[in-house]
Each structure stands twice: as structure tokens, then as C-alpha cells.
Structure 1
Amino acid sequence: MPELSRFYGIIIRMYSEPNERHHVPHFHAYYQNSTAVFSVSPVELITGELSQRQRRLVEAWAELHVEELLADWRLLHDGRRPQPILPLQ
């Protein structure tokens, strides 16, 4: 699964499953033993859980990078590799 960004111990990944139809652009956030899936627009938790602090960091990062996340989603669905996105600083 391609890694898009990494910040404050959080890893953001996005991938496409060729045999699965995804109805909404989304990404996966990993922090220690927790995993969560967020929609891109609007930025919302779909499933999983992160601590409140990490969830807020992921949501803030995603809000800043919605256009880049959507562009990466399109790249993946065209069979191309997504581009890295700057971390939250």
C-alpha cells in the first residue's frame, strides 16, 4: 500500500483494489496499533479509531491537502502510483 505521508508517528496510505469498487475516495491512517479510514471530501472518519489527538492531526492534515488526496485517488484508479504529500508541520 503506497505511503503518502508520515508525521508525528502517523502513517497515511492510500491504495486501490482492482477487484473492488470504492464509492468514495478515502485514505488509511495508522498510529501505533490503531487504524482508521477517512473519506477525503468531506474529511470524515469512515471506520476504525485513533486517539482524539491523532484523529485531529489527521483531519487537519487532510483538510490542507484535499486536492492532492483527490489527485492521488485518480492516479491510483488510473493504475499509476500516487504522489507523496507534505507532512503536517
Structure 2
Amino acid sequence: MPEISLFYGIRITMNWDEHNPPHFHVKYAEYNATVLIRECIVDRGYLPNKQLKMVLAWCEIHKDELMQNWELASSGQPLNDIQPLV
């Protein structure tokens, strides 16, 4: 899965051949989650509270860029990196 951002040990990825609704994957230590882009909510999995808050804030900030990447992924094009949360 292509990595699109990495911050505070949190790895954000998006698949090339994924299914709707638009989402991204998060890995932090042994935790994994799937986050819906439009709603900025966890669809599946679990993250510790601190990391969850950071990921959801990052999602809100970069929602447009995430949707652009989703469109790129849907058409099999390379994804753009997205600035990490700082």
C-alpha cells in the first residue's frame, strides 16, 4: 500500500484498487484502523485515543487532498504525498 504521510509513528496509506466509500488506512505500533475521508471517522479497527485525535485532525485539515488522492488511486495513478501533522 502506498504511504502518503508519516507523522509521530503514524503511517497513513491508501490502496490503488480499493472499494468505496473513500477511505485511508492507518497503522500505529500494533494498531490498525480504516478512516472514512468524508466523515473523518474510524470505519474499522482501533487507535489509542491520543493518536486517534491526531489522525482525525489531520484528516479534517487534508480532506481535499485525501479526496484528490482517492481519485488518483481509483484511476491507477501515483498518489501525492500529504504533509504530516506537525
Q: What TM bracket, shorter-length normalisation?
A: over 0.9
Deviations 1:22-77 (A, max 9, x none): 22100001000100000000101000000000000000001000000000000011
CA distance in structure 1 between the aligned counterparts of 2:58 and 2:39, rounded to whole angstroms: 13
Q: Structure 1: which 5+ residue stretches go unaligned?
A: none
Opposite residue 82 of structure 2, the aligned amino acid is I
Question: In 2, distance between residues paired with 1:79 and 1:13?
Answer: 15
Runs of 4+ with >2 A deviation: none
State the TM-score, normalized to the length of structure 2. Answer: 0.96
Gaps of 5+ in 2: none
Matched with 1:42 is 39
Structure 1 residue 16: Cα displacement: 2.7
After superposition, where does 1:1-89 map in structure 2 within 5 Å? 1-17=1-17, 22-89=19-86
Per the TM alignment, residue 84 of structure 1 is displaced from its structure 2 partner at its CA by 0.1
| Deviation at residue 7 of structure 1 after TM alignment | 0.4
Figure out how many residues of one structure are paired with residues of the other and give that number: 86
